[in-house]
Amino acid sequence: MTESAGSPSFVAGGAELPFNPADGAFQADPFPAYGRLRDQFPVLRGPLGAFLVSRYEDCELLLRDRRMGKDFANSKFFQQIMGEAGDNPPPFLGLGLDDWDAKLFMLTDPPEHTRLRGLVSQAFTPAMIKDLRVSVAATVEELLGELPERFDLMERLATPMPIRVLGTMLGIPAEEQAQFTRWSVEIAGLLDLDVALPPEVAEARRTAVAACTSYFLKLAEERADGDGQDLVSQLVRARDQGSMLTTQEIAATCVLLVVAAQETFSNLLGNAAVVFARQPKAFTRLAEQPETTDATLDEVMRLEPPAHQVGRIALERMELHGHVIEPGDAVILLVASANRDERVFPEPDTLDIERKGPNHLSFGRGIHYCLGAPLATMMAEEALRGLTARITSLALAEETVAYKPGMGLRGPARLPVMVRKRVS
**Helix pair angle (373-390, 160-170), 10° resolution:** 130
Q: Select the span of 51-59, 198-206, 235-243, 360-368 touching ligand HEM (CB under 6 A).
A: 360-368
CB of 13 to ligand HEM, least distance (A): 28
Nearest to 49 by CA among 94, 3, 81: 81
Q: Binding of ligand HEM at residue 190 (CB under 6 A)? A: no
**Cα 361 to the center of its chain, rounded Å:** 12
**Quick one: which of 78, 180, 265, 345 contacts ligand HEM (CB under 6 A)?**
265
Separation of alpha carbons 273 and 387, rounded Å: 10
Decide whether 20 or 94 has the Cβ nearer to ligand HEM: 94
Interface with ligand HEM: number of residues (CB under 6 A): 23
Query: What amino acid is encoded at 5 in this protein?
Result: A
CB of 35 to ligand HEM, least distance (A): 21
Nearest to 243 by CA among 114, 370, 126: 114
CB of 225 to ligand HEM, least distance (A): 26
Decide whether 198 or 366 has the Cβ nearer to ligand HEM: 366
Separation of alpha carbons 306 and 346, rounded Å: 22
Q: Binding of ligand HEM at residue 270 (CB under 6 A)? A: no
CA dist 409 to 135, 189, 356, Å? 28, 10, 26
Decide whether 43 or 63 has the Cβ nearer to ligand HEM: 63
**Quick one: which of 170, 307, 332, 394 contacts ligand HEM (CB under 6 A)?**
307
**Quick one: which of 69, 160, 189, 306 contacts ligand HEM (CB under 6 A)?**
306
**Quick one: which of 220, 236, 254, 257 contacts ligand HEM (CB under 6 A)?**
257
Decide whether 335 or 394 has the Cβ nearer to ligand HEM: 335
Q: Select the span of 4-12, 36-44, 202-210, 263-271 touching ligand HEM (CB under 6 A).
A: 263-271
Separation of alpha carbons 142 and 144, rounded Å: 6
**Helix pair angle (199-222, 247-278), 10° resolution:** 120
Q: Binding of ligand HEM at residue 54 (CB under 6 A)? A: no
Decide whether 10 or 180 has the Cβ nearer to ligand HEM: 180
Greatest CA separation for the chain: 64
Nearest to 165 by CA among 380, 317, 15, 364: 380
Q: Select the span of 185-193, 320-328, 356-364, 410-418 touching ligand HEM (CB under 6 A).
A: 356-364
Phi, psi of 351 (to 5 degrees): -80, 115
Give the number of other CB atoms < 10 A from CB of residue 363.
22
Sheet of 391-396: strand order equals 150-152, 416-421, 391-396
Separation of alpha carbons 303 and 107, rounded Å: 26
Site for ligand HEM in 97-116 (CB under 6 A): 105-106
Dihedral Cα 277, 364, 192, 58, nearest 10 deg? -100
Decide whether 43 or 166 has the Cβ nearer to ligand HEM: 166
Site string for ligand HEM, 374-413 (x = CB under 6 A): -xx-------------------------------------
Q: Binding of ligand HEM at residue 117 (CB under 6 A)? A: yes
Site for ligand HEM in 310-339 (CB under 6 A): 310
Q: Indicate the residue whose CB is closest to ligand HEM.
A: 372
**Quick one: which of 209, 256, 394, 419 contacts ligand HEM (CB under 6 A)?**
256
Under DSSP, the state recorded for 155 is I
Q: Are 17 and 2 in contact (CB under 8 A)?
A: no
Partners of 325 in the beta sheet?
A: 318
Q: Binding of ligand HEM at residue 252 (CB under 6 A)? A: no
Decide whether 10 or 70 has the Cβ nearer to ligand HEM: 70
**Quick one: which of 184, 264, 293, 337 contacts ligand HEM (CB under 6 A)?**
264
Dihedral Cα 74, 78, 79, 85, nearest 10 deg? -150
**Radius of gyration for the alpha carbons in the chain, expressed in angstroms and rounded:** 21
* List of residues contacting ligand HEM (CB under 6 A): 105-106, 117, 166, 256-257, 260-261, 264-265, 268, 306-307, 310, 362-364, 368, 370-372, 375-376
